[in-house]
Structure 1
Amino acid sequence: MPASAPEAPAPALPRPLIGWRLLALFYDLWPALALWMLASLCFTLGYTIAGHHDPHENIAPLSVLQWALWATCWLLAGLYAVISWRRGGQTLGMRPWRLRVVGADGRPPSWQALCARYAVGTLSLLAAGLGFWWAWIDRDRLAWHDRASGTRMVRNPKP
């Protein structure tokens, strides 16, 4: 049996530019917004059915219910992102730009890494997007959430 020559390592997939990341984030805003609207509807209907206020009035600002709604919306967006990343490495917004989330070793990331990615990504956005802009000056083009979670975003080649 002839000895086979060692296979050449596959070329590393290129790191996506910050513009593609931001476009994917903008695309993902729309499914998240739909989930937030459903959550808001459920909260408003539940509050109205319980007889706490007229349906034409807004929920009182800074109430416990409003904080619960914010937390629910954050969790729904997180579920959408983490489940999408875990199942195929992509959210709906990442598909047109051929972006994919992988572990630092190139394998699918763990649930814990993806949850950390979402949490640090949220903090990054709350800091006026500083964690995303960081990818411009990072030598590996990694954002804060990439570094913190041990994940990478790569751009798939054209089919």
Structure 2
Amino acid sequence: MNQHQPLPPTPSLRRRMAAFVYEGVLLFGVVMIAGYLFGTLTQQRHALQGRHEFQAFLFVVVGIYFGWFWSHSGQTLAMKTWQVRLVARDGGPVSQARALLRYVAAWIWFLPALAIAWLAGWHGGAPLWLTLLGGILVYALASFAHPQRQFWHDELCGTRLVRAIPTNEPR
């Protein structure tokens, strides 16, 4: 991006969270296909057979999903729908390495709440889900403490979310 051209504004927290929720819906399909592939390739006969390997496989698959979209267009389908784009701190495109770093760093959305739930012995049910939801809410609201209202993992990774105004290109 041109150094003299100002960066687009940061999308509202409402818009970013809408994209976050929609991303979860889309990831359901990605995870289902990956689960079918894993089960078929490993000839898994029981849901708990190879559980940790399956979790590692899903972590990699979801990382590839985000890394590819963020490094190619700066947007997943959910981000396109909600007009949000990921760019480097200077407004340029995001490299594949930076996109993968952001994917790993973005787990801060979940890890503190999951650690609290694990320490409390909550392995399911309402306490786990409420703790997870509370952790996500706290992390999202922490963006108000950032000078540009960015998420803190973006600050760490040298990226930022900007409003992506669609262009009216002829088809």
TM-score by length of 1: 0.78
**Alignment partner of 1:145 out of 120, 137, 153:** 153
Identity %: 26
RMSD of aligned C-alpha atoms?
A: 2.1
Distance 1:14 1:20 in 2: 12
Q: C-alpha separation between the residues in 1 aligned to 2:95 and 2:5?
A: 23
Aligned to 1:27: 22
Equivalent in the alignment of 2:37: 42
Q: In the aligned structure 2, how far is the partner of 1:143 from the partner of 1:11?
A: 20
Q: 1:74 to 1:133 in 2, by over 3 A?
A: farther
CA distance, structure 1, for counterparts of residue 166 and residue 73 of structure 2: 17
2-structure distance, mates of 1:101, 1:84: 10
Aligned mate of 1:67, from 52, 58, 68:
52
Greater fraction helix? 2
Is 1:157 the equivalent of 2:165? yes
- What residue identity is the alignment partner of 2:30? L
Query: Aligned partners of 1:16 and 1:126: how far apart in 2?
Result: 24
**Contact kept in structure 2, 1:28 and 1:93, CA below 8 Å:** yes
Contact preservation (8 Å) 1:39, 1:69: no
Shift of 1:158: 5.2
Question: In structure 1, what is the Cα distance between the partners aligned to 2:58 and 2:166?
Answer: 34
Aligned residues between the structures: 142
TM-score, scaled relative to structure 2: 0.73
How far is the alpha carbon of 1:118 from its aligned partner? 0.6
Q: Which amino acid aligns with 1:19?
A: R
Structure 2 stretches of 5 or more lacking a match? 113-134
Is this contact kept in 1: 2:143–2:151, CA < 8 A?
A: yes
Q: Are 1:17 and 2:12 an aligned pair?
A: yes
Give the alignment partner of residue 132 of structure 1, picking from 123, 140, 164: 140
Q: Distance in 1 between matches of 2:105 and 2:88?
A: 16
Q: Which amino acid aligns with 2:147?
A: R
Larger Cα-atom Rg:
1
SS in structure 1 at match of 2:85: strand
Instruction: Measure, in 2, the Cα distance between the counterparts of 1:158 and 1:116.
Output: 27
Q: Is the 8 A contact 2:7 2:91 kept in 1?
A: no
Alignment of 1:112-123 (within 5 A): 112-123=97-108
- 1:46, distance to aligned residue in structure 2 (A): 4.2
Aligned equivalents of 1:20, 1:126: Cα separation in 2: 23
- Write the distance in 2 (CA, Å) between the matches of 1:142 and 1:131: 11
Bigger shift: residues 114-123 or 28-37: 28-37
> For 1:46 and 1:153, how far apart are their aligned partners in 2?
37
